[in-house]
Chains A and B, each alone.
Chain A
Amino acid sequence: MAMAMTIRNAASRRAMNPISADFSLRSMSSWWKNVEPAPKDPILGVTEAFLADPSPDKVNVGVGAYRDDNGKPVVLECVREAERRIAGSSFMEYLPMGGSVKMVEETLKLAYGDDSEFIKDKRIAAVQALSGTGACRLFADFQKRFCPGSQIYIPVPTWSNHHNIWRDADVPQKTYHYYHPETKGLNFSGLMDDVKNAPEGSFFLLHACAHNPTGVDPTDEQWREISQLFKAKKHFAFFDMAYQGFASGDPARDAKSIRIFLEDGHHIGISQSYAKNMGLYGQRVGCLSVLCEDEKQAVTVKSQLQQLARPMYSNPPLHGAQIVSTILGDPELKSLWLKEVKIMADRIIGMRTTLRESLEKLGSPLSWEHVTKQWANTKTG
């Protein structure tokens, strides 16, 4: 009846003192003596500090959450309307482990295209996930379980939590060149060199659009070259798309990098998030998808993704998913959403222009053209 598991040696993983074996003293002292305070999260810690600051002039340009021109959080009109429709609903039963089927269907259309053959052929294994973080984490765990010798190549710099995610999934990390400090643009040759020099069949994390934290994206032409090199090297492309709609104001435009890779025949993975583009931050709504060879494999891979989700949270939260499927499933609401996304993106693009002009007006001797250039790439063909 007793079932012993192999004890895993965690001692090498971090420097910490294992709990002393002197149990006779245990009843008087805490089990937690050796637990040290964790460092503040580099991003969320900024908001904590901001909230604690009493100065009336304070400005929070830390966390990536959209604000209106008065610095206030925004709830989209389409979201409010969706909530009115679902409030008091009599359905609160568990979602399936893979989440809301309707929400996932609509979400795949956004990434792969409304008329995507892959959707028609049912080749995509997809599950609702806990926003972008949850989608990345599920993929990282899946990669660890089914390609246990593999590593992940992560751009420098990247969203800091990417490192935490793949580390906690126990997948070794390598980095590739991305940001060029001198030009404040893309280090394209460095990137291509690293892609070329990586062992064949490596896993790469790519930001589909609106790279976080630099705002620097490859041009379409550069994406094509990256895709060709990926093909030659048989690399696996995992896209983190957290800002679809937010970069250019046009969701189809922002998915261009993904569409290029799909055209070129790659079998990719995608993490999608509604935190920013639908303002659903706290609802934790997202999606993980993996393009497979055929429908049978997609069913199989999906079953394994669910198997990873079950001991993490059983099934994903309903409310945000209901909002998404209500909006995307209704043509009027969807069109309202697209308008609102464009307004948010335009406001940010306007801010970039204003900021740059203000800096130049103040007579700054430095070049600030990168501030507007960093979104401009999304507009070029």
Chain B
Amino acid sequence: AAGGAYWVDSQQKRYVPVKGDHVIGIVTAKAGDVFKLDVGGSEQASLSYLAFEGATKRNRPNVQVGDLIYGQFLVANKDMEPEMVCIDSSGRSSGMGIIGQDGFLFKVSLGLIRKLLAPKCEIIQELSQLYPFELVLGMNGRIWVKAKTVQQTLIIVNILEACEYMTAEQRKQALAKFSGN
């Protein structure tokens, strides 16, 4: 519970890297020991190959250009290039790392991400009743979804994108249509 914290909430689409935030990055380049990731900020973030759980100089993680990575910012200020890691302070990956094959990545506004990550989010609860799927939300406005079929995946994507502008009732109507499938 935040005691005495004040914050300004505004609608934003452009992400600014913040230390400790978990984001989805796309690998754009591999430069020796370091990967360059696009996180939707003004600069690309760097990610060292040793910043994965159980990675050593001999045991390198299998990261290719175009892969999706879920990680957190180690360094993120306006003076330096942002750095990411896929490992937490105790050395465990705790869900971070390369996001698997298949699935669909799309972009939404930052406000929607915060709404979806709120402790009791109705959208997520309602969607979870539909069918099994996996979801990764990056604070940089990127969402990755994977379900059993392409059709199911696209349905979830469309609902999440439209949630920005739908009211709760419209959303329930839309979901009721699909729960029959």
A-B complex is real = no
